[in-house]
Amino acid sequence: MNDYIGLDISMKETAISIRREGERVWRGKCSSDPVRIAQIVRKRAAGVVRVVFETGPLSVWFYHALKEEGLPAICIDARHAKAALDMAANKTDANDADGLAQIGFYREVRVKGFDSLLARSLVAARTKLVRITVELSIQIRGLMKTFGLIVPSGKGHNFEANVRRLLMDQIELSNILLPILDAWRDMRMRAADLTKLLLVAARKSHTCRLLMTIPGVGAITATSFATAIEDPGNFKNSRAVGAWLGLTSRRYQSGEVDYSGRISRRGYRHLRGLLYEAALVILTRSKAQSDLRTWALKLKERVGTKRAAVALARKLAVTMHAMLKTNSVFNPIAHPISL
């Protein structure tokens, strides 16, 4: 007998539905603990074929924990599952679990390993701290402008020195802004500490060192790309990476209507932004000559900097995947891969 399990996972409780030969044989709820869920599944469904649940905050933990328990866990895209679950008359956890148990056609999501998630968390934490320091500096500059105190251009220690100098005779304003300035300095130091950890990890990684041979690609972009791709074999071909990152044009076709629009912007938003920044560096700042840069500069003359940077970001993604697949460094005289 083949048993199909659907899980609707929330922070506290998980709804479980078990179907056999198209009929529901049991459903219930338990605490959101993979070990407890595995016990229930083994007790109620001896012939389990798959255990299906949607992407969510706990999906990575559940996927790896259920796999360790020996269960055939499958994580599917929440947007894909929504189309099937919307068929139910009432939106309940029990009905969602029941719908997941009987879903026929589904798209399984590749769940990343914990090592990749640790590196990705490091990049995300550093990015968050950097953004906080920028926001705090902007707030300090804005508040001081209100009182006619213009902070000269400058970053880091120059910024702090200028702020303290201007506040020297402003006792009441200093009581307000100096705590913000101290928080800015602390956040900047913490971001610098995470940057050092990131650089050390990138230098130890053969994959990151390989990707960093591309002019304009630094440790952050290389680490983010490597952790997102994990294994080059996860993609059928290098061109698929551009679509996976949302760097290919949308297409709408219905009857006689058929047109392409802007890029889809699906997938890993932060990595897409990093690739765009790397493309801008190649277009505007890098002096290293390559066929890839020559192609991008010619495109820039026709369509402008922004659109050329988007196209170059897509080519960078394809090129970086091809480098990982062949385990080769960047070749500046190689003809850009066609898209």
pLDDT in tens, 174-224: 999 999 999 999 999 999 999 999 999 999 999 999 999 999 999 999 999
List strand residue ranges (DSSP E) for 155-197, in order.
none
Secondary structure letter of residue 108 according to DSSP = B
Q: Any residues with CB less than 8 A from the CB of 100 and at least 6 apart, and which?
A: 6, 7, 8, 17, 52, 53, 54, 76, 81, 85
Chain center to CA of 337: 24
For residues 94 and 27, the answer to whether their CB atoms sit within 8 Å is yes
Residue with tokens 């390989």: 210
Residue 335 banded pLDDT, cuts 50, 70, 90: low
Number of neighbouring beta carbons within 10 Å of residue 7: 26
Contacts 24+ apart (CB under 8 A), 111-114: 111/59, 111/60, 111/63, 111/64, 111/75, 112/60, 112/227, 112/230, 113/64, 113/230, 114/64
CA 22/CA 203 separation, integer angstroms: 53
Q: What percent of the chain has pLDDT over 70?
A: 96
Q: Classify domain 3-102 at the CATH topology level.
A: Nucleotidyltransferase; domain 5 (3.30.420)
Is it the case that residue 104 has pLDDT exceeding 70? no
pLDDT of residue 125: 95
pLDDT of residue 111: 84
Pairing of strands 249-254, 73-76: unpaired
Q: What is the pTM of this model?
A: 0.78
| Domain spans, the chain | 3-102, 114-204, 209-326
Contacts 24+ apart (CB under 8 A), 196-204: 197/122, 198/122, 198/123, 198/126, 198/223, 201/119, 201/122
pLDDT of residue 219: 94
